[in-house]
Amino acid sequence: MAQRDAEFIRRWLEAAAEAVARDASRLTELDSAIGDADHGSNMRRGFAAVVATLADQPPTDPGGTLRVAGRTLISTVGGAAGPLYGTLLRSAGKALGDDPVVDDERLAEALRAGVDGVASLGGAAVGDKTMVDALLPAVSALPDYPAARQAAEEGAAATVPLRARKGRASYLGDRSTGHLDPGAASSALLIGALADAAAA
């Protein structure tokens, strides 16, 4: 089983930053249908800050890298997604402690703890039409990275017919149906970036 170090986490988050920058206008369009049209700019700003912070003062262990990244998202992104993704990374980082390398099973467990953190902060379960719909099946499939990518994409696509029960989109009630949830779409990008980092 592959061993993962701080450099691996940094490559993942850099790939995630590239993906959200590339797809920022699509994420904002999705958020304009059922939210306030800022998800792409929120994500782009937050992940650019993560990349800058990690380049400036790179922690030497994967847990520390995740904790710094999470803290950066929380402090730079207003709106729901910043604290939620920040909690995902911070809780995962806490679960890893300060070990210099971790294996894929340990990283998978840490990311599951991260998604638990998201669910308890936001109170969302699968089916509520949020990022949890993509994240939970994805981390359940880890450490099979290609399966996690597929699960995230399918989980995101499955939000289209759902009625939102959490977040801003829930204010729309039945009018939130028929649209892809923006946070589930960005989660699929983050998991795709993780799978890319693992395949590199």
Report the C-alpha gap between 131 and 159 in whole angstroms: 9
Out of 167, 188, 195, 197, which residue is the one contacting ligand ADP (CB under 6 A)? 167
Q: Which range binds ligand ADP by CB under 6 A, 9-17, 54-62, 86-94, 128-136?
A: 128-136
Under rule CB under 5 A, residue 38 binds Mg ion:
yes
User: Smallest distance from the beta carbon of 27 to ligand ADP, in angstroms?
Assistant: 8
Give the CA radius of gyration of the chain.
15
Under rule CB under 5 A, residue 40 binds Mg ion:
no
Nearest residue (beta carbon) to ligand ADP: 183
Choose between 20 and 107: whose C-beta lies nearer to Mg ion: 20
Q: Report which of 2, 139, 5, 144 is spatially closest to residue 61, judged by C-alpha positions.
A: 5
Q: Which range binds Mg ion by CB under 5 A, 43-51, 75-83, 88-96, 103-111?
A: 75-83
Choose between 30 and 151: whose C-beta lies nearer to Mg ion: 30
Listed in sequence order, the residues at least 6 apart from 148 whose beta carbon sits closer than 8 Å to its beta carbon are 138, 139, 141, 142, 191, 194, 195
**Strand (E) or helix (H) holding 71:** helix 62-76
Under rule CB under 6 A, residue 98 binds ligand ADP:
no
Choose between 39 and 45: whose C-beta lies nearer to Mg ion: 39
Burial of 4 (0-12, 13-18, 19+ CB in 10 A): buried
Contact between 43 and 20 (Cβ < 8 Å): yes
Choose between 44 and 106: whose C-beta lies nearer to ligand ADP: 44
Listed in sequence order, the residues at least 6 apart from 130 whose beta carbon sits closer than 8 Å to its beta carbon are 122, 124, 159, 164, 166, 167, 181, 183, 184
User: Smallest distance from the beta carbon of 165 to Mg ion, in angstroms?
Assistant: 16
Q: Which range binds ligand ADP by CB under 6 A, 56-64, 129-137, 139-147, 191-199?
A: 129-137
Contact between 37 and 31 (Cβ < 8 Å): yes
Choose between 6 and 30: whose C-beta lies nearer to ligand ADP: 30
Under rule CB under 6 A, residue 153 binds ligand ADP:
no
Site residues, Mg ion (CB under 5 A): 31, 35-36, 38-39, 79
